[in-house]
Structures are given as C-alpha cells and as structure tokens.
A and B are shown apart, each in its own frame.
Chain A
Amino acid sequence: MTQEVISTTKLIDFEGVSKTYQLGNQKVQALKGIDLTINSGDFMAIAGPSGSGKSTLLNLLALIDTPTNGQITYNDIDISTLSDNQKTMYRNKEIGIVFQNYNLIPVLDALENVAFALQVQGIPNHVCLSRAEKILKEVGLGTHLHHRPANLSGGQKQRVAIARALVTNPSVVIADEPTAALDSKTGMEILDLMKELNYTKHTTFIFSTHDNRIINSVQHVVQIEDGLLINQY
C-alpha cells in the first residue's frame, strides 16, 4: 500500500457553510454551518451515517451546488464571485468529479469518455486522445480503450471515471461514495488506485464512504452527523 502525502498548503476553505433544502413547505437543513480547511495533497475521507449530509458537502466542494449561507474559497478565490461559466471552467480545470454510479456517457468509448473532459476546453482532438490514453494506461485500462461503458465491469467503469477526473490535471478529485456500487475487493482496489494517484501526482482526494474498512485504512477522516462536523482526525 502506498503512503499518503502530507501537505500544508491550504487549498479549500469552508467558513460557516450551511445548506437548506426546501421540500414543499418544509425546510431540510442538510448542513448546519461547516468550518473546514482542506490542504493541497490531502487524502480525506468523509464519513457519517446515511442522511448526515455527506453528498451535500461534496456537491458544494465540487462546485455543482451553492451554499445557502457561508463562504467557500478555493485557492483564495471566493467562489460566490464567479459567474456560471467561470465556475464551470474552474471545475473543468481544477476539480475532478467521480460519481458513485460512474456516470459515463454511454455513446462514448472509454477513451472518448476520458478525452471528453479535455475536449470541452477546445483542446485539439489528437492531444485529448493521447492524454486520455496515457491516463487510462495509468489506471490499468490500456487494453480497454475502445470499450463502451456497457462492455466494462463496475470496477473498470470506475477506473474510467477516475481517469476522466484526472485527465485535466485537477488539484482536487471529489468522489461521492466511489466504491459503494462495487464489491468490497474491487472497492479496495479503487481505493488503492486513488491512494497511488494521490502519492504519484499529489492530487488531493476527497471522498465519502460508508465502508468501515475504507475508513480504517485512511489517515485523514472527517466525520459528520446530522449536518454538523463532529470529529476530524
């Protein structure tokens, strides 16, 4: 198993972040004022029971949702000052997102799925494809470049998704329960892959999990319950 990177440069800062959902005329407070600092190169697990607000927190971290209150800063940029297009471009270049259910695009093969994240930037196609191929080889899928998602196993799909998240060289990868749809052996393999990438590329990884085996094998864990950060070690 690879060692985790220890780092001290501040990457993300949450200050009093809360999120309230409106369900009909009922309000659900999913996050109730979170203060959190994430350093560059961190490998952090977010743990907590179902409904505790893990996904909400990760969506805010991934800039695909906006907080009801509080401030989120990324590299000292106040996110609330960015326009939608600026946020999208920031997400594309700086944040890789991995989903629980892979969310690959079915009409694109593995290589194209990964290259997609670069293509939206307008990078020439052959550059996108060669960079995508390189990263797919790194996640161990060099032999499955032209398989469409339907012809890949769950673990392989998640490797493609990780490759897609990494291909733009982001400073952080955010993964909401990346192993939950996989059997535990494959789940551990994905975790090892993430650790390895964190070590070799110094990419920050933030992910949520239910799995105690995973929580026990990670050094930096943030525990939340009922929308509050209750423990961090």
Chain B
Amino acid sequence: MNYLQFAYRNILRHRRRSIVTIMTVCLGFVALGVLGGFLNNIFSRLKGQAIVAERFGHLTFAKKGFHENGKLEPEKYLWNAQELAKILSVTRKNAEIELATPRLRMFGVTSNGKASTIFVTEAIVPDDDQKLIKTNVDGRTEIAGMVTFEAKKQDNSAVIVGSELATMLKIKKGQSLTLLTSTKDGVANAVDVKIAGNYNTGNPATNDKFILSDFSLAQNLYDTDGAERVIVTLKNPENIDVVKTQLLEQLTSAGLQVEAKTWEELSPSYKKVTTLFGIIFRVLTIIISVIVLLTVLNTMQMVVSERTKEIGTMRAIGMLKSQVIKLFCVEGLIMGIMGCLLAIPILLAIAGILQVIGISFIPPVASVAVPLVLMLKVPKLMFVFALFSIVAIVSSFLVSRKIANQQIVDSLIQSN
C-alpha cells in the first residue's frame, strides 16, 4: 500500500489542524535556526579574535612544560637558534602548514614619561604577521580593524598597542613609549619604541596592556637569538587535530621535546562562551522539541479520536496493528518534514534581511562590534531536522499504538 499518498490525503483532510502542527514545527525550526545561526556567528567572531587579533594562529608549539612552568623559569623553556631553525624547517615542510612563525612574549612596565602601566608584548615577525592577519576564519579573511606594522630596515622599534592602553596613556601614532622589562637572565633592560598604530584586541582583558612588537627587537631585549614559541596556521583548519599529532611526531623524531596547543585551548574566553551558550542552546532545543512533541501528540490525539471508527474498519478489513501505527507515524513524519522544509526558506530570508540591513552588536566577552548575521550550518540544521522528524514519529507512535491496541468492536462503535 502507498502509505505516503494515503497519509498525505489524510493530512489534507484535517487541513486546519495539520497547518497548525506544521506551523509549530516550522516555528520551532526557525527559532532554533535563528538562535543557532546567531550563536555560530558569535562563536566564529570569537574564533577570529583568538586566531588573529590575539595572534594565537591555529597551533602553538613550545618546549614541553612551557605552558605550565614557562612563567617561573622562562630561560629554561627558551629554544636556542638551532632548535628554532629546526622547528621552523620541520613545520614549514609540512604540506598542511600555511605559515610558521617564531614568537616571544615579555612582560613589564611601560611609560610615556609621565605615567606607567603594565604591559604584555607579543613579539611578531612583521612579514609573517602580515600573512597571519589575513588568515581565513570561516570564510572571512579580513578581521575587522586588524592592523600590524611593516618591517623597516635598520629600525625595529615600531609597535602596535591595544586601544585601551593607548587611551590610558594618551599616546598617539608617532609618539614613543619606554618598555621596561628584563632579559632572560633577569637583568633589567629597557628600550624606546614608536607607536605605529593601535587596535582593539577584542578582549577587554588584554586590550589595556597588549603591545605588538618586532621579534628582532624583543630578541635584543630578552638577550636571546632563539624563541619561546612557534605559531602555525593551517591551510585546512578542520584538520587541526590530525596535523597537531602529525607535527608532534615529526618534531619528536627530529629530537625536540615539544608540546602543542590549539587556539581553542589557549583562549579561555572562547571555551567559556561556547560552553555556556552551548548549554543554553541545548536546553532550548529540548524545550522546543517538547513543544513540538506535545503539539503533534495533541493533533494526533484529535485525529485519531475522530478516525476511531475508520481505524476499526481498517483493522476489521485486515490491516495489522503495526500497519495502523505505521500509517499514523507516516502522517506525523510528513507534517514534521513539511514544517522543517517550510522553515528553510524563512531562515534564509531572515539571514538575507539581516545581511542587507546590517545591524552590529558587541558579542559577550568581546569589545569590538561585529555585524549581526546568521551563520547557518547545514549539519546542525540537519540535526534539528532529524530531531523533529523523530519527535513527530514518536508522538504519532504513542497515540496510534493505543488506538491500534483497542478492541476492534470498540473502535467500530464510535458514531459519526
């Protein structure tokens, strides 16, 4: 028997009720799609912040133990020039690697001559940083407001400062700052640097102390010809876990003791935000699924009680209990699928409208406004699609199982 056609005709027969059910499924799908798309956008912006603005790249390689003890005994976790050269050559040889660049990080006090405050400087290789800030994050190659400086011959004193730091010290482009820090051996050292610009790191916790400085300047300040970390970006970031293990193996067999961290591991705010909003999203998914369940349950209950005599007739003619249940499950499933299918153009329309009108917002744990757009992810939408379909089937099953198990004579008695 053609269950699909039969079920479809029955859906048309209870038209108004079917429309209400389909609309409920549709609204549920749109709600989850909008919230999900909105969260995906936030997550993606935070990701861009971590990878590009905070300069984490995709993967960070350091001497084993660095992330745990590097602050206590920095000199112990420093790579010398040969080691650095080896790491760079191994990583750059890997076909998955887009960029591999050395880094140093130093802490200290900075002064404009009148006032001083603490700073953290991330020392970057200017040519590499030009590439890094163009890293593709979820299809975007330009992270809003991102700046770096260019390498100049004979002069490595250019720096970019966090915008809040610039405000605090009232410093502008072209002016200079003094950085007070110490060498790897703990000897005090100082250098004057020139402001080449400022930018918002996107993270309020770093925006008031962040300074991007030239790697060669930092090497002098720190009295080293090596580096502390090597940052890499990948051609295909989705392969991050594979590349991570692969590179760790290659570096180990090259005789180096290394550890690797992903940008996610290094950006605590990203994890916190995605975890929190992930929970909210899941709770909402459950609530909406329950609403869909109850709606389909209610519709099916009405449909079934209206068609009790017909069910009795079908059973009397020779339809098995399981066939009756299947018929109603197909009816529920069709309504579920219709609701989801109807939701897709609506979601696309909402996404399109948001794109056109261009609203901006500041995501949580961030300080840069980003455009509010929906990032619709096909696998996640497919998941909701499957979930609602299952929910529709389950509620139809629960209702129809009861009626199918009823005595046939009792079903036939119903008058209408």
Contacts and interface: CB of A to CB of B under 8 A. Distances in A.
Interface of A: 59, 62, 64-65, 84-85, 88-89, 91-93, 97, 99, 103, 105-108, 116-117, 119-122, 125, 164, 168
Given A103-B309, A103-B310, A107-B10, A117 B318 contact: yes
Interface residues of B, number: 25
B310 A105 contact: yes
B409 A89 contact: no
Contacts of A164: 317
Contacts of B9: 107-108
Contacts of A91: 316-318
B13 A107 contact: yes
B320 interface: yes
Contact of B315 (A88, A105, A107, A116): A88
Given A64-B408, A105-B313, A116-B314, 6 more contacts: A64-B407, A84-B321, A85-B320, A89-B320, A107-B12, A116-B1
B2 A106 contact: no
Contacts of B2: 119, 125
Nearest to A115: B1
A92 B317 contact: yes
Given A59-B409, A99-B313, A120 B321 contact: no
A168 B316 CA distance: 13
A84 B10 CA distance: 26
A32 B2 CA distance: 44
B283 interface: no
Contacts of A168: 318
A107 B11 CA distance: 10
Nearest to A104: B313
Q: Which of B13, B310, B314, B318 has the most CB of A within 10 A?
A: B318
B361 interface: no
Contacts of A92: 317-318
Contact of B323 (A64, A108, A120): A120
B280 interface: no
Going nearest first, the 8 A-B pairs with the smallest beta carbon separation are A92-B318, A119-B1, A107-B9, A64-B408, A103-B313, A65-B409, A120-B319, A120-B318
11 contacts: A59-B409, A64-B316, A84-B321, A88-B319, A107-B6, A119-B1, A120-B1, A120-B314, A120-B317, A120-B318, A122-B1
Q: Which of B1, B13, B322 has the most CB of A within 10 A?
A: B1
B143 interface: no
A77 B298 CA distance: 42
A54 to B, nearest CB: 14
Interface of B: 1-2, 6, 9-10, 12-13, 309-310, 312-323, 407-409, 412
Contact of B317 (A65, A84, A85, A117): A117
B321 A108 contact: no
A108 B6 CA distance: 8
Contacts of A88: 315, 318-321
A62 B409 CA distance: 10
A105 B318 contact: no
A97 to B, nearest CB: 5
Contact of B409 (A64, A85, A93, A122): A64
A99 B313 CA distance: 9
Nearest to A170: B318
A64 B321 CA distance: 13
A89 B318 contact: yes
Nearest to B7: A107
Nearest to A128: B1
Contacts of B318: 88-89, 91-93, 117, 120-121, 168
A122 B6 CA distance: 15
B134 to A, nearest CB: 61
B400 to A, nearest CB: 15
B320 to A, nearest CB: 5
A88 B319 CA distance: 7
Nearest to A55: B409
A14 to B, nearest CB: 17
A121 B1 CA distance: 8
A150 to B, nearest CB: 11
Q: Which of B2, B9, B314, B408 has the most CB of A within 10 A?
A: B408
Contacts of A64: 312, 315-316, 407-409, 412
A116 B317 contact: yes
Contacts of B408: 64-65
A78 to B, nearest CB: 19
B13 to A, nearest CB: 6
Contacts of A120: 1, 314, 317-320, 323
A103 B412 CA distance: 9
